[in-house]
Amino acid sequence: MKALQWLATAVLVVAGVVLLCVPANGQAMKMGTFVPTRFTVTDAGTVGKPDVVLIPGLASSKAVWDGEVKLLGPNYRLHVLQVAGFAGAPAGPNAAAGMLPGIVEELHGYIAAAGMKPVVVGHSLGGLLAMMLAANYPGYMRKMVIVDTLPFYALLFNPAATLDAVKSMAGAIKAEMTTMSAEDYAAGEKTMLPGMAISEAGQKAAYASSIESDRAVVAEALYEDLLTDMRGEVGKIQTPALVLYEYDATSKMPDPAVYEGMMQDGYRPMPHVTLVRVEGSRHFIMYDQPGKLDAALEGWLK
Protein backbone atom coordinates (compact mmCIF):
# COMPACT_ATOMS: atom_id res chain seq x y z
CA MET A 1 0.00 0.00 0.00
CA LYS A 2 3.01 2.37 0.10
CA ALA A 3 2.69 3.06 -3.59
CA LEU A 4 -1.03 3.67 -3.12
CA GLN A 5 -0.30 6.18 -0.36
CA TRP A 6 2.20 7.96 -2.60
CA LEU A 7 -0.39 7.98 -5.37
CA ALA A 8 -2.96 9.53 -3.03
CA THR A 9 -0.56 12.38 -2.37
CA ALA A 10 0.57 12.76 -5.97
CA VAL A 11 -2.89 13.13 -7.41
CA LEU A 12 -3.55 16.06 -5.11
CA VAL A 13 -1.27 18.17 -7.21
CA VAL A 14 -2.22 16.91 -10.57
CA ALA A 15 -6.14 16.33 -11.53
CA GLY A 16 -12.35 4.44 -31.07
CA VAL A 17 -13.84 7.94 -30.09
CA VAL A 18 -15.35 10.19 -32.76
CA LEU A 19 -15.10 13.96 -32.54
CA LEU A 20 -18.52 15.33 -31.78
CA CYS A 21 -19.17 19.06 -31.51
CA VAL A 22 -22.49 19.88 -29.90
CA PRO A 23 -23.64 23.48 -30.33
CA ALA A 24 -26.36 25.14 -28.29
CA ASN A 25 -29.15 23.74 -30.46
CA GLY A 26 -28.03 20.19 -29.67
CA GLN A 27 -27.27 19.26 -33.28
CA ALA A 28 -24.08 17.29 -33.89
CA MET A 29 -21.56 18.77 -36.28
CA LYS A 30 -17.98 18.19 -37.40
CA MET A 31 -15.35 20.82 -36.78
CA GLY A 32 -13.03 21.06 -39.75
CA THR A 33 -11.96 17.76 -41.28
CA PHE A 34 -9.89 16.37 -38.41
CA VAL A 35 -11.36 13.48 -36.42
CA PRO A 36 -9.36 12.72 -33.24
CA THR A 37 -9.48 9.41 -31.41
CA ARG A 38 -8.16 10.50 -28.02
CA PHE A 39 -10.79 13.04 -27.00
CA THR A 40 -14.19 14.41 -27.89
CA VAL A 41 -15.17 18.07 -28.00
CA THR A 42 -18.34 19.86 -26.99
CA ASP A 43 -18.72 23.01 -29.06
CA ALA A 44 -20.43 25.64 -26.90
CA GLY A 45 -20.60 29.39 -26.56
CA THR A 46 -21.12 31.74 -29.49
CA VAL A 47 -20.04 31.03 -33.06
CA GLY A 48 -17.93 33.81 -34.52
CA LYS A 49 -16.49 34.88 -31.18
CA PRO A 50 -12.84 34.27 -30.11
CA ASP A 51 -12.02 30.59 -29.53
CA VAL A 52 -11.23 29.10 -26.11
CA VAL A 53 -10.22 25.44 -25.60
CA LEU A 54 -10.89 23.99 -22.12
CA ILE A 55 -9.05 20.82 -21.00
CA PRO A 56 -9.92 19.00 -17.74
CA GLY A 57 -7.39 17.23 -15.56
CA LEU A 58 -6.57 13.65 -14.58
CA ALA A 59 -9.66 11.42 -14.36
CA SER A 60 -11.87 14.50 -14.64
CA SER A 61 -15.06 15.20 -16.54
CA LYS A 62 -15.52 18.09 -18.94
CA ALA A 63 -18.19 19.16 -16.41
CA VAL A 64 -15.46 20.75 -14.27
CA TRP A 65 -15.71 23.65 -16.73
CA ASP A 66 -19.51 24.06 -16.54
CA GLY A 67 -19.20 27.30 -14.59
CA GLU A 68 -16.79 28.77 -17.11
CA VAL A 69 -18.99 27.65 -20.03
CA LYS A 70 -21.89 29.58 -18.55
CA LEU A 71 -19.72 32.60 -17.80
CA LEU A 72 -17.80 32.81 -21.06
CA GLY A 73 -20.39 31.48 -23.50
CA PRO A 74 -21.89 34.83 -24.56
CA ASN A 75 -18.53 36.30 -25.57
CA TYR A 76 -16.45 33.29 -26.69
CA ARG A 77 -16.73 30.13 -28.72
CA LEU A 78 -15.80 27.29 -26.38
CA HIS A 79 -14.30 23.92 -27.25
CA VAL A 80 -14.61 21.72 -24.15
CA LEU A 81 -12.53 18.55 -24.29
CA GLN A 82 -13.41 15.21 -22.75
CA VAL A 83 -10.33 13.01 -22.65
CA ALA A 84 -11.07 9.45 -23.76
CA GLY A 85 -11.07 7.07 -20.80
CA PHE A 86 -11.86 9.73 -18.20
CA ALA A 87 -15.21 10.12 -16.44
CA GLY A 88 -16.91 7.25 -18.25
CA ALA A 89 -15.80 8.13 -21.77
CA PRO A 90 -14.62 5.12 -23.86
CA ALA A 91 -10.89 4.58 -23.56
CA GLY A 92 -10.02 4.47 -27.24
CA PRO A 93 -6.23 4.24 -27.66
CA ASN A 94 -5.42 6.10 -24.43
CA ALA A 95 -4.60 3.07 -22.28
CA ALA A 96 -1.44 2.42 -24.32
CA ALA A 97 1.93 4.13 -24.11
CA GLY A 98 2.22 7.52 -25.76
CA MET A 99 -1.09 8.83 -24.46
CA LEU A 100 -0.01 12.39 -23.63
CA PRO A 101 2.02 13.05 -26.81
CA GLY A 102 -0.86 11.50 -28.76
CA ILE A 103 -3.38 13.89 -27.23
CA VAL A 104 -1.11 16.86 -27.93
CA GLU A 105 -0.67 15.81 -31.56
CA GLU A 106 -4.41 15.40 -32.06
CA LEU A 107 -5.16 18.67 -30.28
CA HIS A 108 -2.82 20.41 -32.69
CA GLY A 109 -4.60 18.69 -35.57
CA TYR A 110 -7.98 19.82 -34.28
CA ILE A 111 -6.87 23.43 -33.88
CA ALA A 112 -5.18 23.51 -37.29
CA ALA A 113 -8.16 21.96 -39.08
CA ALA A 114 -10.52 24.49 -37.51
CA GLY A 115 -8.29 27.36 -38.59
CA MET A 116 -8.37 28.98 -35.17
CA LYS A 117 -5.81 30.52 -32.83
CA PRO A 118 -7.40 29.91 -29.42
CA VAL A 119 -6.69 30.55 -25.81
CA VAL A 120 -6.06 27.11 -24.28
CA VAL A 121 -7.07 26.60 -20.64
CA GLY A 122 -5.93 23.45 -18.82
CA HIS A 123 -6.40 22.22 -15.26
CA SER A 124 -3.85 19.88 -13.69
CA LEU A 125 -2.96 17.31 -16.38
CA GLY A 126 -4.74 19.61 -18.82
CA GLY A 127 -2.27 22.34 -17.92
CA LEU A 128 0.60 20.02 -18.73
CA LEU A 129 -0.99 19.23 -22.10
CA ALA A 130 -1.30 22.97 -22.80
CA MET A 131 2.39 23.45 -22.03
CA MET A 132 3.35 20.53 -24.27
CA LEU A 133 1.24 21.98 -27.08
CA ALA A 134 2.88 25.39 -26.72
CA ALA A 135 6.37 23.84 -26.70
CA ASN A 136 5.81 21.44 -29.61
CA TYR A 137 3.68 23.69 -31.82
CA PRO A 138 4.63 27.32 -31.19
CA GLY A 139 2.37 29.96 -32.66
CA TYR A 140 -0.87 27.95 -32.57
CA MET A 141 -2.21 29.56 -29.38
CA ARG A 142 -3.01 33.19 -28.69
CA LYS A 143 -2.63 32.71 -24.94
CA MET A 144 -2.86 29.90 -22.39
CA VAL A 145 -4.05 29.43 -18.83
CA ILE A 146 -2.44 26.79 -16.61
CA VAL A 147 -4.49 25.92 -13.53
CA ASP A 148 -2.50 24.35 -10.67
CA THR A 149 0.14 22.46 -12.64
CA LEU A 150 3.87 22.17 -11.91
CA PRO A 151 6.32 21.83 -14.83
CA PHE A 152 7.68 18.69 -13.07
CA TYR A 153 5.50 17.92 -10.11
CA ALA A 154 7.59 15.01 -8.86
CA LEU A 155 9.76 17.71 -7.29
CA LEU A 156 7.06 18.23 -4.71
CA PHE A 157 7.97 14.91 -3.13
CA ASN A 158 11.72 15.07 -3.71
CA PRO A 159 13.37 18.42 -4.53
CA ALA A 160 16.26 16.50 -6.10
CA ALA A 161 14.04 14.24 -8.22
CA THR A 162 15.29 13.19 -11.64
CA LEU A 163 13.51 11.28 -14.36
CA ASP A 164 15.68 8.23 -13.74
CA ALA A 165 14.88 8.29 -10.02
CA VAL A 166 11.16 8.73 -10.60
CA LYS A 167 10.80 6.05 -13.27
CA SER A 168 10.84 2.99 -11.00
CA MET A 169 8.45 4.61 -8.55
CA ALA A 170 6.11 5.64 -11.36
CA GLY A 171 6.15 2.10 -12.70
CA ALA A 172 5.27 0.69 -9.28
CA ILE A 173 2.37 3.10 -8.91
CA LYS A 174 1.06 2.21 -12.36
CA ALA A 175 1.25 -1.51 -11.60
CA GLU A 176 -0.51 -1.18 -8.27
CA MET A 177 -3.25 1.01 -9.70
CA THR A 178 -4.08 -1.53 -12.39
CA THR A 179 -4.07 -4.58 -10.09
CA MET A 180 -5.65 -3.42 -6.84
CA SER A 181 -9.23 -4.36 -6.06
CA ALA A 182 -12.08 -2.02 -6.89
CA GLU A 183 -12.76 -1.65 -3.17
CA ASP A 184 -9.19 -0.59 -2.39
CA TYR A 185 -9.14 1.79 -5.31
CA ALA A 186 -12.39 3.45 -4.24
CA ALA A 187 -11.14 3.73 -0.66
CA GLY A 188 -7.95 5.40 -1.85
CA GLU A 189 -9.91 7.89 -3.92
CA LYS A 190 -12.09 8.79 -0.94
CA THR A 191 -8.97 9.34 1.15
CA MET A 192 -7.70 11.87 -1.38
CA LEU A 193 -10.84 13.97 -1.61
CA PRO A 194 -10.34 16.36 1.32
CA GLY A 195 -6.92 17.28 -0.05
CA MET A 196 -8.23 17.92 -3.55
CA ALA A 197 -11.10 20.26 -2.72
CA ILE A 198 -12.45 22.07 0.30
CA SER A 199 -15.92 22.12 -1.20
CA GLU A 200 -17.92 18.99 -0.33
CA ALA A 201 -19.78 19.25 -3.62
CA GLY A 202 -16.43 19.48 -5.39
CA GLN A 203 -15.16 16.41 -3.55
CA LYS A 204 -18.20 14.42 -4.61
CA ALA A 205 -17.89 15.51 -8.23
CA ALA A 206 -14.19 14.66 -8.35
CA TYR A 207 -14.84 11.25 -6.78
CA ALA A 208 -17.63 10.40 -9.21
CA SER A 209 -15.48 11.28 -12.23
CA SER A 210 -12.55 9.30 -10.91
CA ILE A 211 -14.55 6.15 -10.15
CA GLU A 212 -16.17 6.29 -13.59
CA SER A 213 -12.80 6.59 -15.33
CA ASP A 214 -11.04 3.70 -17.03
CA ARG A 215 -8.38 2.73 -14.52
CA ALA A 216 -5.85 1.65 -17.13
CA VAL A 217 -6.11 5.05 -18.81
CA VAL A 218 -5.74 6.89 -15.49
CA ALA A 219 -2.70 4.77 -14.61
CA GLU A 220 -1.07 5.43 -17.98
CA ALA A 221 -1.80 9.15 -17.78
CA LEU A 222 -0.35 9.42 -14.28
CA TYR A 223 2.72 7.38 -15.27
CA GLU A 224 3.42 9.64 -18.24
CA ASP A 225 2.70 12.76 -16.21
CA LEU A 226 5.28 11.74 -13.61
CA LEU A 227 7.86 11.22 -16.34
CA THR A 228 7.21 14.49 -18.17
CA ASP A 229 9.68 17.18 -17.15
CA MET A 230 8.94 20.54 -18.76
CA ARG A 231 11.55 22.51 -16.80
CA GLY A 232 13.86 22.66 -19.78
CA GLU A 233 11.03 23.78 -22.08
CA VAL A 234 9.20 26.53 -20.20
CA GLY A 235 11.91 29.09 -20.94
CA LYS A 236 11.40 28.55 -24.67
CA ILE A 237 7.62 29.00 -24.62
CA GLN A 238 6.71 32.40 -26.06
CA THR A 239 2.94 32.04 -25.61
CA PRO A 240 1.66 34.48 -22.94
CA ALA A 241 0.65 32.35 -19.96
CA LEU A 242 -1.47 32.88 -16.87
CA VAL A 243 -0.65 30.39 -14.10
CA LEU A 244 -3.17 30.02 -11.27
CA TYR A 245 -2.18 27.97 -8.25
CA GLU A 246 -3.81 26.81 -5.06
CA TYR A 247 -3.11 28.27 -1.64
CA ASP A 248 -4.80 27.00 1.50
CA ALA A 249 -3.15 27.97 4.76
CA THR A 250 -4.75 24.99 6.51
CA SER A 251 -3.33 22.45 4.06
CA LYS A 252 -0.60 20.07 5.17
CA MET A 253 0.04 18.47 1.78
CA PRO A 254 1.12 20.26 -0.18
CA ASP A 255 2.63 22.70 2.31
CA PRO A 256 1.31 26.01 0.93
CA ALA A 257 4.54 27.98 1.37
CA VAL A 258 6.73 25.26 -0.13
CA TYR A 259 4.31 24.74 -2.98
CA GLU A 260 4.20 28.44 -3.78
CA GLY A 261 7.99 28.51 -3.94
CA MET A 262 8.01 25.60 -6.36
CA MET A 263 5.44 27.28 -8.60
CA GLN A 264 7.42 30.53 -8.64
CA ASP A 265 10.71 28.74 -9.32
CA GLY A 266 9.20 26.42 -11.91
CA TYR A 267 7.76 29.18 -14.07
CA ARG A 268 10.42 31.83 -13.54
CA PRO A 269 12.18 30.99 -16.84
CA MET A 270 8.97 31.47 -18.87
CA PRO A 271 9.33 34.82 -20.66
CA HIS A 272 5.68 35.94 -20.73
CA VAL A 273 4.07 34.51 -17.59
CA THR A 274 1.80 35.92 -14.90
CA LEU A 275 1.36 33.90 -11.70
CA VAL A 276 -1.70 34.36 -9.49
CA ARG A 277 -2.14 32.77 -6.08
CA VAL A 278 -5.73 31.73 -5.39
CA GLU A 279 -6.20 31.78 -1.64
CA GLY A 280 -8.73 29.59 0.08
CA SER A 281 -8.45 26.89 -2.53
CA ARG A 282 -7.07 23.42 -3.01
CA HIS A 283 -6.40 21.63 -6.27
CA PHE A 284 -9.89 22.04 -7.78
CA ILE A 285 -9.90 25.82 -7.82
CA MET A 286 -13.07 25.86 -9.93
CA TYR A 287 -14.94 24.19 -7.05
CA ASP A 288 -13.36 26.03 -4.11
CA GLN A 289 -13.04 29.55 -5.52
CA PRO A 290 -15.16 29.79 -8.67
CA GLY A 291 -15.51 33.55 -8.44
CA LYS A 292 -11.76 34.10 -8.28
CA LEU A 293 -11.19 31.71 -11.17
CA ASP A 294 -13.84 33.43 -13.26
CA ALA A 295 -12.41 36.88 -12.60
CA ALA A 296 -8.90 35.76 -13.50
CA LEU A 297 -10.07 34.12 -16.73
CA GLU A 298 -12.19 37.05 -17.84
CA GLY A 299 -9.34 39.48 -17.21
CA TRP A 300 -6.81 37.33 -19.10
CA LEU A 301 -9.01 36.63 -22.09
CA LYS A 302 -9.57 40.29 -22.92
- pLDDT band for position 16 (cuts 50, 70, 90): very low
CB 276 within 8 A of CB 243: yes
Q: What is the pLDDT of residues 95-150, one digit of tens each?
A: 999 999 999 999 999 999 999 999 999 999 999 999 999 999 999 999 999 999 99
Check residue 279 and give left, alpha or beta (phi > 0: left; psi -120 to 50: alpha). beta
Enter the pTM of the model.
Answer: 0.90
pLDDT higher than 90, residue 13: no
**Residue 23 to residue 238: CA distance in whole angstroms:** 32
Instruction: State residue 11's pLDDT score.
Output: 42
Please give the sequence-ordered ranges of beta strands (E in DSSP) within the chain, or none if there are none.
39-45, 51-55, 77-83, 119-123, 143-147, 241-247, 273-279
**Residue 146 to residue 154: CA distance in whole angstroms:** 17
Check residue 148 and give left, alpha or beta (phi > 0: left; psi -120 to 50: alpha). left
Q: What is the pLDDT of residues 61-97, one digit of tens each?
A: 999 999 999 999 999 999 999 999 999 999 999 999 9
Of the candidate CATH numbers 3.40.50.1820, 1.10.10.60, 3.20.20.10, 3.40.605.10, the domain formed by 2-301 belongs to 3.40.50.1820
Tell me how far the alpha carbon of residue 214 is from its chain's centroid: 16
- pLDDT band for position 32 (cuts 50, 70, 90): low
CB 158 within 8 A of CB 165: yes
Of 98, 99, 106, 108, the C-alpha closest to 134 is 108
DSSP H or E stretch at residue 202: helix 200-212
Residue that wins the pLDDT comparison between 161 and 50:
50
Q: What is the pLDDT of residues 33-48, one digit of tens each?
A: 799 999 999 999 999 9
**Residue 91 to residue 214: CA distance in whole angstroms:** 7
Spatial CB neighbours of 149, under 8 Å, sequence gap ≥ 6: 14, 122, 123, 124, 125, 126, 127, 128, 131, 243
